[in-house]
């Protein structure tokens, strides 16, 4: 269109971008003709279609080729409409084609074995896009997509996501089924999406999708189970009930999906009996079944949607506070509903882990998670977050055993592998933690922001600044406002000697999330290094110290602040507190340059020597646990 109109538009800019991307990936210009005059190149640009990238480089992934050819369409109307759409397409590629190192989904988990030579060298994004042969979906894998409301009337944008998530949680109780949760498509939770394409990108054999509608005193849900390979309908149905009974809806869909999988002989022998699908609910079967009235079901789904928004999208204290309130209201009305106790416990634990609150929230988290497990001993999410609570209380041996059980029983649960990664990180087993986080990301791409943040921190602990920045760039490309990623960016800037830039980055985090006390010690340390001691001191409030007293990571950050301040007594106090609370990351504690002035301090040397012995013991404990698999 520039040759014809002599004008540039957003679409012509996108075409130019497509030419550059094509060259980056194939090594050739899409319209190059050897040994010709420039005028002939101009003619080729106007009239000749580019060769498909896979014809130039055969290992180009189909998703990448599709994106490239769309941005190089001759007609502007056939290209992406805006640059933001190209950005979103690239984000999707980052999520769905980030293949990682380690075992494939569906194979046995390997958390601790030594990596093969060169395994620590993470491939770049373009390398991962060249995946070679397509990865075969795991057997009995099912992607649960967010349900779409036919005529949206609900105030929560993620209501359909929460409804699908509740059903996915029920299906995940079937050990023979690999569930891709709806959070894997969180960024399009309220948008229409082609289910077959979603299933292909999530590497699933089948897809559960559907729509729902509500009227006063009436709830209808239409669902379909689709075969991805053949693009055919396996089964489906309509639930038409007088009101939304979440427990009944979960149970009926889980039973019918399970029956469809069994009748097609796709479930491996030794899988759960039919009754297990029916019993995987809010109460264990021995306590009888529980139904929820419509108002309570809707409030529970709202609470789940808010908690999901907080966990997956970005840190937002208001979402978490609202989730706490709604879960508490559900628990008050339905004290025997295990998922509500689990949700309330998880929300309290998130308060602790982000520095929003202190010990009282940690105790409340443990209390509600234990109540959920008393009602339903098989509740995977409650058991996982109970292990987190044990980690945060320093009861790590019990937590390790719980994580081992979960990995054995639920090897395809991304959150379980994420939990193992956190446990390994706190024990200082950094390479093993990286592999566990990689597995979590491959099982559920929606965990990307959280995983990239953890991996960036690990690379910082290992002194790999370039790798840490790459992980941060990936995460921030997906969630630019994610508070934890931005806090880690501030830490990276400090390590790189960019003090003023670190102060600016961390100030912006605290401005956006004034209750995120996890960031306070890092900002206070940046202030100290910038010579702003009064501003640093103002951040270390009683509330901030109370948060550190309940969180092992905040405690260590506060210890580092005091080390930079050269307050030996407080630095040692909070270092011991961090270790007591479960942070035994010996490699980082021994290498942290902020503690350089204390390398010859006798008390610090004793603490590190004892921590080194604990580190060796932790390695042996994990090895024994996973050898037992």
Mean pLDDT by 10 residues, the chain (629 residues): 76 91 89 74 82 85 86 87 81 59 29 37 41 61 85 63 78 76 59 76 84 76 87 83 71 73 51 38 39 75 81 71 91 89 91 80 91 88 88 79 82 85 91 90 80 94 93 87 92 95 95 88 96 95 90 93 96 94 93 93 95 88 67
Q: Which pLDDT belongs to residue 34?
A: 73
Which structure tokens are listed for 594? 């902020």
Distance between CA atoms of 166 and 302, rounded to whole angstroms? Answer: 11
Q: What letter would DSSP give residue 123? A: P
| β-pair partners for 219 | 214, 241
Q: Which pLDDT belongs to residue 153?
A: 62
Residues 6+ apart with CB under 8 A from 314: 449, 479, 481, 482, 483
Q: Which pLDDT belongs to residue 275?
A: 39
Helix (H) or strand (E) holding 214: strand 206-215
Q: Which pLDDT belongs to residue 176?
A: 73
Distance between CA atoms of 534 and 529, rounded to whole angstroms? Answer: 12
CA distances from 94 to 20, 64, 125, 134, 304 (A): 18, 10, 7, 16, 26
Contact in structure between 190 and 156 (CB atoms under 8 Å)? no
Q: Which pLDDT belongs to residue 158?
A: 64
pTM above 0.85, yes or no: no
Helix (H) or strand (E) holding 236: strand 232-241
For CA atoms 186, 192, 193, 195, give the dihedral sign: positive
Which structure tokens are listed for 112? 């601790």
Phi/psi for 209 (5° steps) reads -135, 165
Q: Which pLDDT belongs to residue 444?
A: 76
* DSSP per-residue letters across 425-482: HHTT-HHHHHHHHHHHHHH-GGGHHHHHHHHHHHHHHTT-HHHHHHHHHHHHHH-TT-
**Nearest in space to 486 (alpha carbons), one of 515, 449, 521:** 449
Q: 3-class DSSP state for residue 260? A: helix
Contact in structure between 258 and 234 (CB atoms under 8 Å)? no
Task: Give the alpha-carbon dihedral of 58, 62, 66, 72, to 10 degrees.
Answer: -20
Helix (H) or strand (E) holding 208: strand 206-215
CA distances from 111 to 61, 117, 285, 391, 430 (A): 28, 16, 34, 18, 11
Q: Which pLDDT belongs to residue 329?
A: 92
**Nearest in space to 579 (alpha carbons), one of 540, 546, 606, 543:** 606
Q: 3-class DSSP state for residue 211? A: strand
Contact in structure between 523 and 494 (CB atoms under 8 Å)? no
Q: Which pLDDT belongs to residue 288?
A: 33
Q: 3-class DSSP state for residue 280? A: coil
CA distances from 75 to 78, 84, 105 (A): 5, 19, 40
């Amino acid at each position: 269109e520039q040759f014809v109109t002599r004008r540039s538009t957003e679409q012509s800019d996108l075409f130019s971008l497509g030419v550059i991307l094509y060259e980056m990936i194939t090594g050739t210009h899409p319209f190059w003709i050897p040994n010709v005059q420039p005028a002939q190149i101009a003619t080729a640009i106007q009239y000749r279609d580019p060769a498909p990238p896979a014809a130039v480089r055969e290992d180009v992934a189909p998703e990448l080729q599709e994106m490239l050819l769309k941005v190089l369409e001759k007609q502007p109307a056939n290209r992406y409409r805006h640059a933001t759409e190209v950005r979103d397409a690239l984000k999707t590629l980052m999520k769905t084609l980030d293949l990682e190192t380690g075992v494939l989904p569906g194979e046995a988990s390997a958390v601790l074995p030594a990596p093969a030579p060169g395994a620590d060298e993470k491939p770049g994004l373009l390398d991962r896009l060249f995946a070679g042969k397509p990865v075969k979906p795991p057997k009995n894998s099912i992607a649960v997509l967010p349900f779409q409301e036919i005529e949206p009337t609900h105030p929560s944008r993620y209501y359909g996501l929460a409804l699908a998530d509740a059903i996915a949680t029920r299906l995940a109780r079937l050990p023979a089924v690999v569930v891709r949760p709806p959070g894997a498509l969180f960024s399009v939770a309220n948008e229409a999406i082609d289910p077959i394409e979603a299933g292909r990108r999530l590497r699933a054999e089948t897809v559960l999708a559907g729509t729902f509608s509500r009227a006063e005193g009436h709830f209808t849900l239409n669902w379909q189970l689709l075969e991805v390979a053949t693009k055919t309908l396996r089964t489906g149905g309509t639930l038409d009930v007088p009101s939304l009974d979440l427990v009944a809806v979960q149970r009926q869909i889980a039973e019918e999906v399970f029956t469809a999988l069994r009748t097609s002989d796709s479930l491996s022998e030794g899988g759960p009996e039919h009754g297990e699908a029916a019993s995987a609910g809010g109460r264990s079967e021995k306590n009888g079944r529980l139904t929820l009235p419509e108002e309570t079901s809707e409030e529970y789904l709202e609470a789940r949607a808010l908690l999901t928004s907080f966990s997956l999208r970005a840190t937002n204290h208001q979402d978490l506070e609202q989730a706490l309130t709604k879960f508490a209201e559900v628990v008050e009305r339905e004290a025997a509903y295990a998922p509500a106790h689990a949700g309330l416990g998880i929300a309290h634990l998130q308060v602790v882990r982000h520095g929003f609150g202190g010990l009282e929230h940690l105790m409340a988290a443990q209390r509600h998670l234990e109540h959920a497990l008393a009602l339903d001993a098989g509740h995977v999410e409650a058991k996982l977050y109970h292990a987190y609570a044990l980690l945060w209380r320093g009861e790590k041996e019990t937590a390790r055993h719980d994580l081992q059980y979960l990995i054995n029983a639920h090897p395809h649960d991304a959150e379980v592998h994420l939990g193992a990664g956190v446990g390994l990180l706190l024990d200082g087993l950094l390479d093993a933690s990286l592999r566990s986080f990689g597995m979590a990301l491959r099982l559920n791409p929606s965990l990307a922001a959280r995983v990239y943040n953890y991996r960036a921190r690990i690379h910082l602990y290992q002194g790999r600044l370039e790798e840490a920045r790459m992980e941060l760039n990936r995460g921030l490309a997906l969630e630019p406002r994610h508070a934890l990623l931005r806090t880690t960016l501030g830490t990276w800037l400090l390590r790189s000697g960019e003090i003023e830039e670190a102060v600016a980055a961390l100030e912006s985090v605290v401005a956006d999330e004034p209750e995120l006390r996890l960031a306070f010690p890092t900002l206070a340390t940046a202030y100290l290094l910038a010579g702003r001691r009064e501003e640093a001191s103002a951040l270390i409030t009683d509330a901030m110290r109370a948060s550190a007293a309940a969180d092992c990571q905040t405690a260590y950050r506060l210890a580092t602040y005091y080390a930079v301040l050269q307050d030996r007594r407080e630095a040692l106090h909070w270092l011991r507190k961090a270790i007591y609370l479960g942070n035994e990351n010996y490699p980082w504690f021994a290498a942290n340059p902020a503690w350089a002035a204390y390398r010859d301090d006798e008390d610090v040397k004793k603490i590190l020597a004892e921590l080194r012995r604990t580190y060796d013991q932790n390695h042996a404990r994990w090895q024994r646990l996973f050898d037992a698999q």
